[in-house]
Every structure is written in C-alpha cells, then in structure tokens.
C-alpha cells in the first residue's frame, strides 16, 4: 500500500537515509520514505527543467487531457487513497474521502481552465502597431505542502501549475508523504511525461534550501505555518522567485441576533470539526450575540458531546487524533489558559484516552475573552471557545483585531446585515450562513497580514 521511494524524472528512487512515518492514532510506524539529500533535491529540479519545454509546448488540450485522466484515476483509487490518508494523517475515513473529492475538484477544474488561458490584444497608440498579450508558464514550480490536507493541498498546487504549462518539484510533509507518493504513482500510470512532476521527501530545510538557491526554480508555492512562510519569502528574494503563500488563520465565527440558531450550530460544527480543527480556515473564535448566547452554548455543547473521538478507520468516528504530541500540548495549553482566566468547559476539555495516539476530546468553552490564548493564536484543534457581544460593530472590531486575515464566518438571516458584515470583515474569505467555504473554483487567500504587520510590530494588535 505504501510507496517508499521518491519519484524523480519518471523513476522511483531510494536513498540510504530514511524518515519514519507514524500513525497518529496508534503511534505505530507505518513505514519509511527517503530522507532526501541535496543531490535528490537538485536532480528533481534538473528533471523538471529538462521537461519544461516539452510540457509547455503541448497544446492546452493535451495538458487538459492528462489532468482529466489523472483525476479519473484518483476517483477510481479513492478508497485506497483514503485509507492511506487516514493511516498517516488520522482524519476519519469519511473525511478523507471528502478531502479526495474536494482535492480532485482542483484537477477537474484546471483540466477545463487549461483550455481558457486567453491572451489579449490591446489597441496601440499608433495604427501600424498591434499589442498582443500572451500568457506564458512561469517555469519550474517548487511546491511545499502540509500534513493537514495531504491530497487537496497537492492537487491545489499541481493542477493550476500543470494546466499553465509549468513543471513541478514537490515536497510533501514528512508526516504524510504516502498520499503524495500514491498520487505520483497515478500520474505515472496516466503517462504524464517524465520530469513533469517530481516528489522529494525528507527534511524541509535541506530540500527547500536547494530549491531556493536554484535560479531555474521560478516560483515557490507553500501552504503551512506563518514563520516558515516568512523565511521562504525572504529566501525567494535572492533569485527573484515569484511566491504564493497560504499561511495561518484565526477565523472568527459571528452569530448575529438575527441568526437561525439551528443553521448557526450546524455551520459552527462544520467550520470547527473538519479535520478535528486542524485547518487554517477552521473557526477559532466564536462570537455570539448576547440574546442567543446561552441557547447557542447549550445546543453546541450537546452536539459536541455526541461526537465520537477515535481511530479514523473505525466506523462512527467523527474526530480523529491530532497530528503529534506537540499539537495535543498546544490544545491543552489553550484550554487550561482559558479556564485559569475564568472560562468554563461545558464539554470535553482534556486528553482523550481512546488509543495510544494523540487524542483530545471535542471541547466547548463558555465565556471566552479576548485575552485568552484560544482567542489570540490558532488552536489547530477541536476546541470551540464562545464569547458574547452586544453590537455588531463590537463583533466586527473584535473579529478584525488580529493579524490574520484568511477566513471568517457569519450567521444571520438578514441580507443587509450579511452585507454590512461582509464589507467590514478584513478576511479573504467570508462564509455567510456557510461553515464550509473552500471550493476549487473560488479564490482562496489571505489579506491583511502584510498591511497590518507594522501595527503588530508596534503592539497595536496582538502579536503571535
């Protein structure tokens, strides 16, 4: 089931050094993958560079066909891929299937978009001249992907790059490399030409270090933590690479006085418990109008208490393990800090002893305040801290008082209120009566940190 090699220039490569991959639910070692050295990182770029002219030179229809065929195989192998993902990442198998559907939507969308990379003709200032604008592939793209969505973050990077005619070198998280390698096997099966995609596993610093120094790599795309994103951005400047970063979040979820409470509770559960709260778009700060506060807490406590935490391969499990021991420690620290500062745990609140792995009980905290860690940092775990507000402007001000600007959620039945909030919330994505906003066809991104970085430095906003 597990592929133990790297995929470079259409070949499966072994190395002497290995990294162990551990099942976070059982702590069993699932297997090993290469701990690639600078040599493998460089040969991946050699291969991608060599393949670039051929791939970019195909017609858009040919590239589209490759992506469509790859996506068909991903659908066919869904069961196997989901099992691998649950074993290495921990999410319940049903959620792993959900991720594969979501992730494969990128393949399907960009297989179509490949054919629609239109150019432009702009009127010139003189009549004997024409201005043609033609889109060109950026070149070799280096992609670095996280462990929380081991398939979707890969397809989200591969699909647009390949559609545009770029070739890719990709380093998956060392915690979840097997899903990536399985995807590469499927790409090989559909005959994607050698060198067009390359997967290198191992130490991020070593691999990214080589890719950053190599001027043939023209773009870095990264999903992961904000501190690593900052380093990558600085290093990319040396060879003037383009860069796309998708970093942390600290999403507020606002339940207005005019919300449909049933919808708000469903949406809140969706926005929190997808992947056990381990998502950058996960709702982290729940702000509920004072008129609905008690009933919201009562209902969400009851629903959260029903969630079954356990090994994602078992039937009926809703929340799997966290990825590692540090993640459990962070969640525990946030809960303890909230309790010390006066909040009340209405369900959960401690480590769950449902296996050898890294489990934490699905938790609701009543009476969260802005000074608590759970309101200042990404918890990245199954915790719902609920606070109350009196006016919408107060909710907006508190929601915006963070350097993060990725996602926000709003629950209201009033159209004018929804628009008022949408226009004022400083977040790239605002879900209105919707706890699940990510979609292949929608833009996904952050606003704000860059704009507000200076205010954070001056301590006008919370630091992280």
| Centroid of chain to Cα 225 | 10
Catalytic position from the list 40, 99, 246, 361: 246
Q: Is 438 in the site for ligand SIN (CB under 6 A)?
A: yes
Q: Is 148 in the site for ligand SIN (CB under 6 A)?
A: yes
Q: Is 179 in the site for ligand SIN (CB under 6 A)?
A: no
Q: In angstroms, what is the minimal distance from the CB of 390 to ligand SIN? A: 32
Residue (296 or 409) nearer to ligand SIN, CB: 409
Residue (36 or 81) nearer to ligand SIN, CB: 81
Q: Is 368 in the site for ligand SIN (CB under 6 A)?
A: no
Q: In angstroms, what is the minimal distance from the CB of 330 to ligand SIN? A: 16
**Contact pattern for ligand SIN over residues 198 through 237, marking x by CB under 6 A:** -------------------------x--------------
Catalytic position from the list 280, 361, 374, 377: 280
Residue (143 or 280) nearer to ligand SIN, CB: 280
Residue (217 or 281) nearer to ligand SIN, CB: 281
Q: Is 145 in the site for ligand SIN (CB under 6 A)?
A: no
Window contacting ligand SIN (CB under 6 A); options: 165-173, 205-213, 230-238, 274-282 = 274-282
Task: State yes or no: is 309 an active-site residue.
Answer: no
Residue (367 or 445) nearer to ligand SIN, CB: 445
Task: State yes or no: is 166 an active-site residue.
Answer: no
Q: Which residue among 84, 207, 281, 396 contacts ligand SIN (CB under 6 A)?
A: 281
Q: Is 279 in the site for ligand SIN (CB under 6 A)?
A: yes
Q: Is 284 in the site for ligand SIN (CB under 6 A)?
A: no
Residues forming the active site: 246, 280
Residues that bind ligand SIN (CB under 6 A): 146, 148-149, 152-153, 223, 279-281, 438
């Amino acid at each position: 089931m597990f592929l133990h090699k790297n995929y470079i220039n259409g070949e499966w490569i072994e190395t002497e050094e290995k990294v162990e991959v551990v099942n976070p639910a059982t702590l069993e070692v699932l297997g090993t993958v290469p701990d690639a050295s600078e040599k493998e990182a460089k040969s991946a770029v050699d291969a991608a560079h060599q393949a670039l002219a051929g791939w970019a030179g195909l017609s858009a229809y040919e590239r589209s066909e490759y992506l469509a065929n790859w996506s068909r195989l991903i659908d066919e192998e869904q069961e196997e891929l989901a099992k691998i993902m649950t074993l290495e990442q921990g999410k319940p198998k049903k959620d792993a299937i959900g991720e594969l559907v979501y992730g494969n939507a990128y393949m399907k969308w960009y297989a179509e978009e490949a054919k629609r990379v239109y150019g432009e003709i702009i009127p010139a200032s003189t009549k004997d001249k024409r201005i043609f604008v033609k889109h060109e592939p950026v070149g070799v793209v280096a992609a670095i992907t996280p462990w929380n969505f081991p398939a979707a973050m890969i397809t989200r990077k591969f699909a647009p790059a390949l559609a545009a005619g770029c070739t890719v070198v990709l380093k998956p998280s060392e915690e979840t490399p097997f899903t990536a390698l399985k995807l590469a096997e499927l790409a090989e099966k559909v005959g994607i030409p050698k060198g067009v995609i390359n997967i290198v596993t191992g130490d991020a610093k070593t691999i990214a270090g080589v890719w950053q120094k190599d001027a043939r790599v023209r773009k870095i795309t990264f999903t992961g933590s904000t501190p690593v994103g900052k380093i990558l951005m600085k290093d990319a400047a040396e060879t003037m690479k383009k860069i796309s970063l998708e970093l942390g979040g600290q999403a507020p979820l606002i339940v207005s006085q005019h919300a449909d409470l049933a919808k708000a509770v469903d949406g809140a559960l969706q926005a929190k418990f997808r992947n056990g709260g381990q998502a950058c778009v996960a709702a982290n700060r729940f702000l509920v109008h004072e008129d609905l506060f008690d009933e919201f807490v009562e209902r969400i406590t009851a629903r959260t208490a029903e969630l079954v935490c356990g090994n994602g391969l078992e039937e009926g499990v809703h929340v799997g393990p966290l990825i590692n021991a540090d993640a459990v420690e962070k969640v525990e620290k946030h809960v303890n800090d909230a309790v010390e500062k006066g909040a009340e745990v209405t369900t959960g609140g401690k480590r769950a002893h449902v296996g050898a792995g890294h489990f934490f009980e699905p938790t609701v905290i009543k009476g969260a305040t802005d000074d608590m860690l759970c309101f200042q940092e990404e918890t990245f775990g199954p915790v719902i801290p609920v606070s109350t507000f009196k006016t919408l402007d107060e909710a907006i001000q508190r929601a915006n008082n963070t350097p993060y600007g990725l996602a926000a959620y709003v629950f209201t039945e009033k159209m004018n209120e929804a628009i008022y909030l949408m226009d004022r919330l400083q977040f790239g994505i605002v879900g209105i009566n919707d706890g699940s906003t990510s979609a292949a066809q929608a833009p996904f991104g952050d606003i704000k940190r860059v704009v507000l970085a200076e205010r954070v430095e001056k301590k006008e906003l919370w630091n992280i």
